[in-house]
């Protein structure tokens, strides 16, 4: 089952003008990821924030490339949840 990954709601900046950029994916397409693992680094003007994986599974698609600015309301990647 595909799981759309977003920036956690509580991690979104309040200010609309804050630019958010993907600075580094810590996994590649096809990699197996465990829930809670460091998934991606995002940057604002303020700092680098590390977003952790919300589920375990395989990273199948990345919507935002490294270096790209994005709206925190958009999904950033798909993790295919492993079936037991």
Q: How far is the CB of 61 from another protein (least distance, A)?
A: 18
> Is residue 51 within 8 Å of residue 42, measured between CB atoms?
yes
Distance CA 69, CA 34 (A): 26
- Rounded to a whole number of angstroms, the distance between the first and last alpha carbons of the chain is 12
73 lies in the binding site for another protein (CB under 8 A): no
Write the interaction track for another protein spanning residues 2-41; mark x where CB under 8 A is met and - where it is not. Answer: ------xxxx-xxx-xxx-x-xx-----------x-x--x
List the one residue from 45, 71, 74, 82 that touches another protein (CB under 8 A).
45
Task: Name the residue nearer to another protein (CB basis): 12 or 61.
Answer: 12
Q: Which two tokens stand for residue 50?
A: 């590390």
């Amino acid at each position: 089952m595909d799981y759309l990954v977003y920036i956690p709601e509580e991690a979104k900046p309040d200010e609309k003008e804050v630019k958010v950029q993907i600075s580094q994916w810590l996994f590649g397409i096809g990699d197996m990821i465990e829930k809670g693992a460091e998934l991606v680094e995002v940057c604002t003007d303020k700092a680098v924030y590390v977003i952790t994986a919300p589920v375990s599974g395989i990273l199948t698609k990345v919507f935002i490339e490294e270096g790209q600015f994005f709206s925190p309301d958009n999904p950033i990647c798909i993790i295919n949840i492993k079936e037991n």
